[in-house]
Amino acid sequence: MSTTGTAQERDPDEFDRPRTVIDNGIEFIQWDCSRAIIDTNDIEVASIAVHTHHLGYEADYYDEPSELDGTIEIIDFTLPIDVRVTDHYPDFEPEEGSIIISGVEVFDRANQRLANVGWPINEWRCREVRDSDLDLTAIRGLDEIEYEYEVISR
């Protein structure tokens, strides 16, 4: 039995969100389990790595799906940037459920990490969101995603 749900459908009073975290002058708004808004006023950012979790098969389709890691490397963008990892559902094609954020890293032009923020996966019960079916009508089309990206791991 599967359920359909997103973090947005939950009572916002149940969780401390959205949550703003500032690391090294870079602002991360942890909107929910699958959405991040990143901004800064005066720091030059060259790339952003959004780390994800989803369910899939590593090798044998007869096994149960396991938690797989992925990374969306965002390479051409303007700040503030609004990243919804569910928009990348076609890139990851989870076998079951949805996609959640595990953390976000920000880099400069020399590929030096400027900031690193983890997501409150346990506190917000994000694995429940990951295990729930995604409402496919909530996915933005490629023409609506306002940044260039590469999926560098699945």
The span from the CA of 74 to the CA of 106, in Å, is 10
Share of residues in the chain with pLDDT > 70 (%)? 88
pTM of the model: 0.87
CB 70 within 8 A of CB 102: no
pLDDT, tens digit (0-9, with 9 covering 90-100), for 86-128: 999 999 989 889 999 999 999 999 999 999 999 999 999 999 9
pLDDT, tens digit (0-9, with 9 covering 90-100), for 63-87: 788 899 999 999 999 999 999 999 9
Mean of all residue pLDDT scores within the chain: 89
Helix (H) or strand (E) run with residue 66 in it = strand 66-76
The span from the CA of 48 to the CA of 76, in Å, is 9
Write down the residue that tokens 């060259």 correspond to. 46
Give the amino acid at 148.
E
> Taking the domains of the chain in order of start, what are their residue ranges?
14-153
